[in-house]
Amino acid sequence: MCKREKLEDKYFLLNFDHTFLAASLQEEALLFGADSHAPFLSNTVRQFQAFKPDFTLNHPLDHLSGGENAILAVIFYSALVLHKKKPLHFLLQNILESLSTSNRHALIILLTEYQQQAISYHLLSNNEVISINE
């Protein structure tokens, strides 16, 4: 059984119920020390538009569905990590399970692309950490 403290030492835990702190992507970027007009934000918007075509940078985060919010969080934080040029291990909790089959498949394809850039993704399932590729 995994203890949360040990997991937090190794992984960035992204939980379906706790994704963003701010009201917009620009504010969230500022919280993590990135410029609110950094190029990774426009890339985030472009990638998320595959899931929600009418999404813009100014779209209020609280107007997204739970699944949309979870997808956007994974894309945003992955892009932020690449922007900061630091490898990171993500631990996704209730993210993929919350999505429709088609959105889950599309997100996994996107995560595979991110994995080629020094980011790894794992799932927390039944208190066990498993690779997203399993």
Residue-range domain boundaries for the chain: 4-131
Return mean pLDDT, the chain. 87
Within 10 A of 74 (CB to CB), how many other CB atoms are there? 23
Provide the pLDDT for residue 133. 61
pTM of this structure: 0.84
CATH code for residues 4-131: 3.40.50.300
In this prediction, residues 28-57 reach a mean pLDDT of 91
The Cβ-side half-sphere exposure at 97, using a 13 Å CA radius, reads: 12
Provide the pLDDT for residue 1. 47
Alpha-carbon distance of 110 to 30, in angstroms, equals 24
Element holding 45 (H helix, E strand): helix 39-48
